[in-house]
Structure 1
């Protein structure tokens, strides 16, 4: 029995694909071991979103070959697509597997071993022409309560800073019936929460053709169908684009009790001039209207976002507009990124690149603002009844707790009595938030459990 080890870099979509490849190899007879162990095969699902991600991908590939020079090292995913020539010339890589061909991994390995090849077996999928969705499957994940489910791939937006449309291709959607079938499988294995994710989730269904006279399927149709699956208590959505947040969309979601009021609404900048240079397809006013609708139909929803500091041409005045906008929206969480030049994108060729020192200072300022917003959001929950899906036992200051998340993705911890080893994993607990146990964790007092 050959041993295989897998390592994932990048987004939740990559994580899903890595889980799927792991299960394919298990079914093909491989013994799965830790990436830190000696293995016959190392599979690295690479990321290429920034130049730094490319470098990390190469480092992991070289680390694998160094750990066992006689192993077969497989480079899969986005780095393969964006850096084909460099990857093909890398002596640490034995097999290249592009996006849309990961389902062929067991066969490619078998062919490689049969040929007893010591050279490079290059396979790069031309996703610019292959528009069919690559059907991958999982029946379990590394987590025991929450499962991420890939429902869409590719992006048609071509933001000026982003390489992903070149790495992932155009929008391709998974058939609704396939998504539902996988959710049913996961529910049967005890998972109570699913997260619908994709490269550009808001585009789900735009490429699907109507079948048997029915209307085209969109993201809302998919959500409603997943909502019907028994055993699933929570549905969480991946990153959304502001354009999908209409009155009809939000009001429909609010009528689905399994929907988690935790919405990651991509922003990137709170300045219209910067958004235009980024080739984002909305204005700050349109974004703000989406947030207003979410707060109209949901009680105190968690609204989170991404922001890039130091985008080419960002002046002090533009940064000040972004900072003011973020405070006005008053987010629960903000993922703050310093602009990272990515070769192959339009932004990399723009004038007025911002110095690293200024990017860093702007990020620090926003981070301080975020701490205040985050604490304000958490304190709103004090004294209120919360429902928490428990996930793991943790220790804070020498005392044991069970930790989980509310529907808003707020962390909450329930103290465990001394001497009790009760396992609350995957239990839905209702309790009252008594205080802030830690900076980002609410202390819970138990009221009910299911």
Structure 2
């Protein structure tokens, strides 16, 4: 039996796509092995959001070649879509795929086994018009299941390469969304996370009024589903009907990840974000009024070209006032081919590093403040991992809860939250649901 190993970089969408490809290989009789072992085939699913992602992808290709020089190395994902010639130039690469046509990856790998040379299947992604619907043939080895329902982005933020690596908007048909969700629930998953490159734009390409609200409705009534969560989406795309569904449906997670990216109007304008501070504030206030106990997390990019110390201080003050439950901090990384990479007044790495540290300190304070509000309460926790006698999982508001009580991963328990602990809280078991 031939063996295949996978390495995945990047976002939840990449993780989901890896899981679909794992299923394709297992369906054809391949054995999955860890990427640290010698395998006949290595599939590296790359990320190109930052220049570090590109560098890491190249390092991993070279690492697996050292494990087995005779292996077929297949590279897919955003980096190979953005820079296929760079990928093909790396010694040992035999199959190059971009961000589509991965339903045939096993065929391309086996063709590479039978022939010499490189199989190059990177096409013009801007011509893609259909969502690539690959069924899950193998269940994810996790407690929460990601379900990709949307592809492509048309925001064209000035710092982002993703619209050029993922192409135009394409949505998964509602019937397929429900069928794949049913499959996940039937296999024991209690929580499903809907993911997409531009999730809030789900259904726009159908031009019949279908929206993310309809995709959520198609899943929520599935027997056995306990929790539905949305991954990152733009605040300007949150409809009132979707907010009402989040508020009223007992299975809908009360957590939204709404990327802000900067707290300065001047920086937001340079980023080509489609709102200013006042508009974002109004959007957040609307969310909180419609869903009173919602937890809102966000992303912030630090050190964008032209960001002065005054602008950064303005951002810190604005972020503090909004009271996010969690803040993910990223230093700006220039991406070749994007407008921001050519902008004047690029910020030095030492200044970026110092600003990242300051914002991370604020983020930790805000997270602790958010967690403190829940101390003494009883919350439902889906436990995920167990290590050294300590099990951790998430509440529906995305608080990470740790306990040393005996619990099973993949199950939901009622837990009393007692004290701040690590990046979340420590709790004691009340009962099993």
What's the TM-score once normalised by structure 2's chain length?
Answer: 0.96
Count of aligned pairs between the two proteins: 433
1:405 aligns with 2:389: no
Cα distance, 1:423 vs structure 2: 4.8
Cα distance, 1:157 vs structure 2: 0.6
Equivalent residue of 2:150, what SS?
strand
Cα distance, 1:402 vs structure 2: 3.2
Whether the 8 Å CA contact 1:139–1:182 is kept in 2: the answer is no
Query: Please, what is the CA RMSD of the aligned residues?
Result: 1.5
1:36 alignment counterpart: 36
Distance in structure 2 (CA, Å) of the matches to 1:142 and 1:275: 37
Distance in structure 2 (CA, Å) of the matches to 1:392 and 1:75: 29
1:430 alignment counterpart: 414
In structure 2, do the counterparts of structure 1 residues 221 and 120 end up closer, same or farther at CA, with 3 Å as the change threshold?
same
Cα distance, 1:141 vs structure 2: 4.5
Question: Once structures 1 and 2 are overlaid, which stretch shifts more, 13-22 or 439-448?
Answer: 439-448
2:289 alignment counterpart: 296
1:246-325 to structure 2, matched below 5 A, reads: 246-325=239-318
1:375 alignment counterpart: 368
Distance in structure 2 (CA, Å) of the matches to 1:258 and 1:150: 19
Equivalent residue of 2:126, what SS?
coil
State which of 182, 192, 197 in structure 1 corresponds to 2:195: 197
Whether the 8 Å CA contact 1:389–1:427 is kept in 2: the answer is yes
Distance in structure 2 (CA, Å) of the matches to 1:142 and 1:248: 31
1:335 aligns with 2:319: no
What's the TM-score once normalised by structure 1's chain length?
Answer: 0.93
User: 1:280-308 CA distances to partner (integer Å, 9 max, x unpaired)?
Assistant: 01111121122212222334322111101
Which sections of structure 1, spanning at least 5 residues, go unmatched? 211-215, 417-421
Cα distance, 1:330 vs structure 2: 1.0
Question: Once structures 1 and 2 are overlaid, which stretch shifts more, 23-32 or 136-145?
Answer: 136-145
User: 1:365-393 CA distances to partner (integer Å, 9 max, x unpaired)?
Assistant: 11111111111111111111211112233
1:209-228 to structure 2, matched below 5 A, reads: 209-210=207-208, 216-228=209-221
User: 1:186-221 CA distances to partner (integer Å, 9 max, x unpaired)?
Assistant: 1001100000001110111000143xxxxx210011
Cα distance, 1:246 vs structure 2: 4.2
1:188 alignment counterpart: 186
State which of 310, 319, 343 in structure 2 corresponds to 1:350: 343
Cα distance, 1:332 vs structure 2: 1.3
1:147 alignment counterpart: 145
Runs of 4+ that moved beyond 6 A: none
Whether the 8 Å CA contact 1:43–1:76 is kept in 2: the answer is yes
1:440 aligns with 2:417: no
1:213 alignment counterpart: none
Which sections of structure 2, spanning at least 5 residues, go unmatched? none
